[in-house]
Amino acid sequence: MSVPDYLQCAEDHQTVLVVVQPVGIVPEDQFFKIYKRIAGVSQVSIRDSQRLLYIRYRHHYLPENNEWGDFQTHRKVVGLIAITTCGSDKEWPQTAERFHGQKEVYGSTLYDSRLLVFGLTGDIAEQQRTDVAFYPGFEDCPDVEKRVEDFVESIFIVLESKRLDRATDKSGDKIPLLCVPFEKKDFVGLDTDSRHYKKRCQGRMRKHVGDLCLQAGMLQDALVHYHMAVELLRGVNDFLWLGAALEGLCSASVIFHYPGGTAGKTAGRKPSVSQPADAGKRHRPGAQEVLIDPGALTANGISADTSAEIGRAKNCLSPEDIIDKYKEAISYYGKYKNAGVIELEACVKAVRVLAIQKRAREASDFLQNAVYINLGQLSEEEKIQRYSILSELYELIGFHRKSAFFKRVAAMQCVAPTIPEPGWRACYKLLLETLPGYSLSLDPKDFSKGTHRGWAAVQMRLLHELVYASRRMGNPGLSVRHLSFLLQTMLDFLSDQEKKEVTQSLENYTAKCPGGMEVITLPDGLKLPPVPFTKLPIVRSVKLLNLPVSLRPHKVKGLLGQNMSTASPFIYSPIIMHNRGEERCKKIDFQWVQGDVCEVQLMVYNPMPYELRVENMGLLTSGVEFESLPAALSLPAESGLYPVTLVGVPRTAGNITVNGYHTSVFGVTSDCLLESLPSVKSSGCLVEVIPSLPRLQLSTSLPRSAHTPQPMSKEELSSTVSVQLFNGETQQVTITLENIGSVEIETLELTSKVVSTKEKVFGEFLSWELEDALSHLPLKPGQAVTLTVSIKVKLDFSGQENLLQDLNDDGISVTGLPISSPLRQVLKPRSESKPMSSEGNKIDCDRKEREARLGEAEPESDGLRRSAGEKVLLRLSEGWEKAKLVGSTTCEHCGCTLKTGGSSFSPPESSAEQKQP
């Protein structure tokens, strides 16, 4: 026997083996449909008896294993059910001949057989036969189960007769010596009359009768016979059969203690007379375990005879003794090279019992022994089956990592070099089943919680094997997904050289099949979620930026009424609920404008040891229609926090939420959501987008000033131009207003303001006419309108004693030409222009000459300052200078008489020809 049955368990010792096989040409799907119905009859209650007969079905069984039927009777094929198709009466003789040929294969051990014929109608089908059943078709066979039950009852009759025949003590007859196949040659020429030989024959027969009793449902008799066989065989050192007797004793005890069975996934067995329910057990400390048979109770509830139950309890092994006897039996099997299959199956049975007893460490010892059992030359298919069963058994006792190891070995065996056609699909499927044992999940969300579980080196090796297997399967998209997962989740454990190798492999794969964010569904239904590259690059913070000052929208008071709908009652609550998600998505206090470019700043970090190129990086938003303008990045190797600004244009108004960003790295497109990045700092990602506003550009005919004052309020924009005028002089200033936006300008207001803290300036200096400019409204995009503003200087020096000193020190600032409108403005200063006239240059030279005489220079003019409107700074003309005189004196330049301590001065009559400033 070379092929072990890894599905065997202790309770299989009480089953009878029935083989179900097709004869001739039978459709595979139809055969297994009938086989499933037959296998449903797994236990049959025998009429006129309180016993149950258990059946074990196989659709494939090696005839060589049948030769071990005397050693353990549950290995003997005692029943055969053949399934065949027959279309006409002419085909029937050939079909019957095939059936008889099939019976001859197992003829030495068969108790009974049946043939199920499908498709034959007519005279032959109407004949009543015991061993043949005719059906018109595979769909029209309602009594298959009933015929199988009758067939099982006939097997029981034969089994019972053999048990009675073997159990009867015929002292005058010579007991035959039962042998296993490899022993027959060893007993040739032995003295059959020796006492040692007779005791061996008796011991083996007792063990054989115990097997028959166990199959026939007589558990008490089986225990007695096993005990007697153990004593006889131990005395003659017949170790192989002693191990079998000990294993039979263990099996009977397991059936008694665990009536639900030890097979694990298989359905539990029904309690019976020989296999009582757990409810019949009564446990008392220090007391022998006694089972009350429900069928032995009388009408008044008192047990008529408990001798059988008491005897069964005495002969039955305790749960601890069961394992000890299993160990002893396995040690005896190990003495025989040809009993490797028996030894391996005994280890498997013991492991299943220990799994129920929750004794995992002892079970692992049995499995470790099973690994090293040499079964000779196994085929690759048998090796795969062996490692797979070992994996399942380790999983059964809770050794998940060991289970994953053997399943991985089985996967590698599927693609061994000796296999002509490697099974890469089977290899890939087995590798996927090993993931839980290595604490590995293919969902990247499980790795975003911070703590890493499992051995990273083993996990990386397994992921590499998944990549290679999927490539050999001819599925490059699957390879890209696994390689992306490896790079994303194991980045912290990769060396610099490994990072380069993985990314190079990923680029090679994505050249043929780019990676995306779609869910990949495998043939067995497993779904692989997308893998966003949140670590390439790593984003530390996200900040929404306000619009530039010239583009920020402001509510203009008096033009926009108070929106009462936004008002809400204030409700005080001492409970403060902190929610990171709500803080991240809270509304920001500024607004964006529809159609204007908006910016979001990210602080990113490149963890790779080489330059990282991000080909396509943009924003992911929701709420309004948003056009993201992608950016291409090139981050230095292992750079620190690097600012990256992503831009886009909202196309509709409303509330917009920045949900994350998308990237394209190494040919893999990723959608990275902020909610899945707990380490990202954000001051908010929700902002209001208001409808489009007009954009106004203002320019004047005056030159720019060198000084730029701060705006007077946040609603105003300042731009400064400069002009110098004499007292009483008038100058025309041209202001050009151009609509550079996409919305029409409908209204225009012009106001002026005088900025003077010392109240030295009186009267209005600015005047204009708006009728011509208003006639061009509404001002369409691209159009411009001009208006003229007159500046006339009016200064009153009367009653001001220190006027000259103050004016020289500070000058006078007059604010004019403020453009006040509910619409936004963009002030674009004109370039520097040349001096206004050549006469001004001459005056400036005269002034410097007079300053040289007085020995004191006049401070330079501050020029023209711009605030919300235009600030015009006027200086006194150069004709009057300050001086500190005692009494009175005469000015050398013009002859004026100046008095100190007075409040006025008058020019001399003779100086009328001098130029009056």
Distance of CA 382 to the CA centre of its chain: 36
Structure tokens belonging to residue 633: 């990045």
Which pLDDT belongs to residue 545? 93
Ordered by where they begin, the domains of the chain are: 10-168 (3.40.50), 177-264+315-376 (1.25.40.10), 444-528 (no CATH), 538-554+585-690 (2.60.40.10), 696-793 (no CATH)
**How many CA atoms, within 13 angstroms, populate the side-chain half-sphere of residue 42?**
13
**777-827 pLDDT, tens digit each:** 888 888 888 888 888 877 766 555 555 555 555 444 443 334 433 433 333
60-90 pLDDT tens trace: 998 888 889 999 999 999 999 999 999 888 8
Q: How far is Cα of residue 341 from the mean position of the Cα atoms in its chain?
A: 44
Helix (H) or strand (E) holding 132: strand 132-135
Entry pTM: 0.71
Pick the range with the lowest mean pLDDT from 54-63, 652-661, 740-749.
740-749
Q: pLDDT tens digit string along 306-319?
A: 445 545 557 899 99
Mean pLDDT of 39-54: 89
pLDDT in tens, 741-789: 888 888 888 887 766 544 555 556 788 878 777 877 888 888 888 888 8
pLDDT value at position 632? 92
Q: Which of 237, 240, 232 is nearest to 343 (CA)?
A: 240
CA 526, 532, 536, 541 torsion: positive or negative?
negative
Query: Mean per-residue pLDDT for 735-742?
Result: 85
For residues 696-715, give the mean pLDDT.
73
pLDDT beyond 60 at 463 = yes
**% pLDDT > 90, the chain:** 48
Lowest mean pLDDT among 434-438, 469-473, 553-557, 687-691: 553-557
Of 831 and 47, the structure prediction assigns the larger pLDDT to 47
Region of poorest pLDDT, from 24-28, 146-150, 392-396, 569-573: 569-573
- For residues 113-118, give the mean pLDDT: 94
Among 401, 240, 223, 237, smallest CA distance to 317 is for 223
The one-letter code for the residue type at 186 is: D
Report how far residue 388's alpha carbon sits from residue 163's, in angstroms, rounded to the nearest whole number: 38
Specify whether the CB–CB gap between 111 and 218 falls below 8 A: no
Average pLDDT over residues 383-400: 93
Mean pLDDT of 438-454: 85
Specify the pLDDT at position 713: 61
Asked if the model's pLDDT at residue 880 lies above 70, the reply is no
Looking at per-residue pLDDT, the higher value among 873 and 373 belongs to 373
* For range 438-467, the mean pLDDT: 89
Distance, in Å, from the CA atom of 692 to the CA atom of 594, rounded to the nearest integer, reads: 5
Among 93-97, 257-261, 535-539, 905-909, name the one with the lowest average pLDDT: 905-909
pLDDT higher than 80, residue 621: yes
- Contacts for 692 with CB less than 8 Å, ≥ 6 apart: 593, 594, 595, 596, 741, 742, 743
Q: What is the DSSP letter of 586?
A: P
Non-local CB neighbours of 514 within 8 Å, separated by 6+ positions: 480, 667, 668, 669
DSSP string, 270-335: PP-SSS--GGGEE--TTSPPEE--GGGB-TTS-BS--HHHHHHHHHSPPHHHHHHHHHHHHHHHTT
State residue 524's pLDDT score: 83
